[in-house]
Every structure is written in structure tokens, then in C-alpha cells.
Structure 1
């Protein structure tokens, strides 16, 4: 696989939404927009009862934002638009009236941790270590922070945000509430994701809609909140500190 994509397949009333990018499944703006639109459309599709969010490849679930695009930001408005990409996906997941299962097969960084946190039920392999690396380049996990804090608590979120060099193992993430289960292999993970998703399809759809509202209560301000957070990152990415750090990635 060499070409980036977002694709959806429907099997037994389950929509498997998969994204891929050859750069460790990092997500540029166009893929983020397509991912948000795909999730929104699936939420409105009566043929779908449950969603599964997954990525292609075996080694990395998501390496976060696209550094190629990050390096090319030259003004605050462009920066805000760039960082709004993950905000739009998280808000699409939040507003989707159907349960979203996360299938995390490998390492996930930055915005990828935010996507995992925005799923309603997140399952992982033992290879799914997580890291928030944003402070290393002079910004912070501002946009994804609310989703991570909601799922793992402020203490865990602040720990991995401050310790920006460290990958925390999947079992740690499970202990903090991000992952529901951690499996020994990707094959075992896939079998359990499929079984869980198809079992959820036997539940009353109306009950799941109402439970989803309960799960996400108190987040009605996130359209504005995440936009404000995107503006903070868009400003910080133009700082001399961050520009010097990003030179090393060119």
C-alpha cells in the first residue's frame, strides 16, 4: 500500500471505516476531512448500526498530524485550519448517534491518541503503546486534550503530555481507561472487534442512541472549545521555538 485513503466497508450492519497513509498513518488535512465526512455519513445510514474505526497496516495505528503540512504553516489562520482537522473528526465521532469501536493495532501518537479517546469502546493489541509528543516541538495536545481527559482523566492526560518523550504501554492505557481490552495479537484483536461489533448490532438501536447521548453529556460546547484550542496551536506553531524544532524534520 502506497496511496493514502479513507474507505468504508459494511458487513453484517457494521461499518468498518479505515484510513491509511504511508507515513505511519499520519493524517494530512484532506484525509482528516474525508474521515470526518465518512463518519458523519455512516451515522445517518440506516443500513449501519455500529461503526469500527481502524487504520491500514500493522505497525502504527496513527502517527498524528502530517509533519509535511505542519512545517509549511506560515500564518495563524492556516495554522488554525490545520489543527481543526482532528477537531472536526473528534466532533464527528462525538455527534455520531451510533457506537464507535476503536481498533488500535499498533503505536499511536498525538492526534491518534485523540481519535482513540473519542471512540466509545476502544480495543487494542499489546503493541498499541501511546505517546503525546506535542510539547517536544513547542506546541501541546490542545485539540485532542479534552477527548483524552474525558476518557483517561486529567492526571493521566497531564502525565503523558508532560512526559512527551515516552511511549506508554498498552496495559498502562488500559489501566487508565483508554482501552477496554488488550490482546496478544492483531488476529485476536480483529476477531474480538468483529464479535463485539456484531453483538452490539443485536441491541435496541434507540437505546444505543440514548446511551451515546449520556456518554457524551457535557460536551455540547466542543465545537467552540476545540476551535479555540486549534487557534492556540495555530499560534504556537509560528513561534521561534517551534520553527527551530521543525527545521530538524525538513
Structure 2
């Protein structure tokens, strides 16, 4: 998918391509079907293991004779895969770009951002499209799923400051508990987010990130480590002992 050609008075539209949507559905459904087949293959063993999650349901599945048991497990796997695809795509961002205005929609959320408010646009890995304000704080962050080349070409063509990565990477510092530089509230939110990351609670981690942004703290992570920077704070000086965030 490529962006629309620029037409005076008309915005360029960026959205998830039909090909990418189809690929997501097919991939998730095929993997789900495979997991269902594996579930059938191990159902009798799993039903005999004490403490196995969903053991009662697995026991029921194990008692269904073939071929019905296999078909049922595969269909359950397909349904699971379809739900994963639906949840992944439902909040995918669609962006309308004009020289003076960006309108992005993610799920039920809509945000209008004037060009004058934006100091940087970048893709954070393969996950998020990020807009930074003139104070270096995050104006918006949304699940990407867009064509990376089309995103870059569109924003550059409309005169936006597009970066291949966060332009303030050198300002991030490793977070540890109870840092005096941060408020008690920010430290508490980062501690809660650390727990959410450890438990793979992505939605909770995203909500806590948004709460931190409101406090003027921008956060990113690498594996189970969190790094932060303060909005509007000067760039940190090089320090041989500092644990800097990796690119």
C-alpha cells in the first residue's frame, strides 16, 4: 500500500492495507488451527496433570471420540486465532495527513494534532506510530500495522519532521525503584508498570505509560528493563556508569 498522491486541499490517507489485514487473519487462523490440533494430541495427558489450567474443560475435550474430538479442538483453535486477529486489528491506526493537520483514529479514539504542535514523528519498532510535541512529550501513540515506507514518505512529503527512531534516545536513563529525580506518583506508576510487563499485561502497561506521559515522564522498555526521560529536560551528559537505553 502506498499513500495517496498529494492533492491541494485533500489529505493523504494511511491505513492498514487489505493485504496486511488478510495476512494477519490467515496467519492467526492457521496458527490457531495448529494449536487446536496439538491440544487434541495432548488432551488425555493434560487432563491427567494436577494443577493444569482449564483441566476440567480439557477433560471434557479428551472424552469426545474422534473424529469429532479433533474437529472440535481445531475449530476452537480457529476461533482463538480469529479473536487474536480481531483484537490486534481493532485498534490499528488510520491516519489522515495534511500539511497543517494530522487526524489519527485508533479504535474509537480520534485525535486531531496541528502541525505546529509536532516536533517529531517516528515509528517505535514494529509496534507504534508516535507523535512528539514541542516540549518533547508524547502527543499520541497508537498501534502501527501500517506500511513503514508509506508512513515515512507521506510525512516527509507533507513537511513533517520524520525520524527513523526516537530522536531523544540519548536522554533516557535506566529506572530503578524510588529515584529521587521522579515524584512518588511517577515511581509508583513505573513500579506498577514493571509488574504489568512481567505479567505480559500489555493493556495495563499501555495505560500506565499514558498516565506517566501526563506527569511529564516518557518511558520505553527493553525486555524487562524500563528507561525514562523527563519532558523538556536537558539532554543527559555522557556518563560511563550510566545505563543508557539501547537503540
Report if TM-score (shorter chain) is over 0.5: no
More strand by share: 2
More helix by share: 1
Specify the structure having the higher radius of gyration (Cα). Answer: 2
- Classify the TM-score, shorter chain: under 0.3
Q: Which has the higher contact order (CA 8 A, sep 6+)?
A: 1
Q: TM-score, normalised by structure 1?
A: 0.25
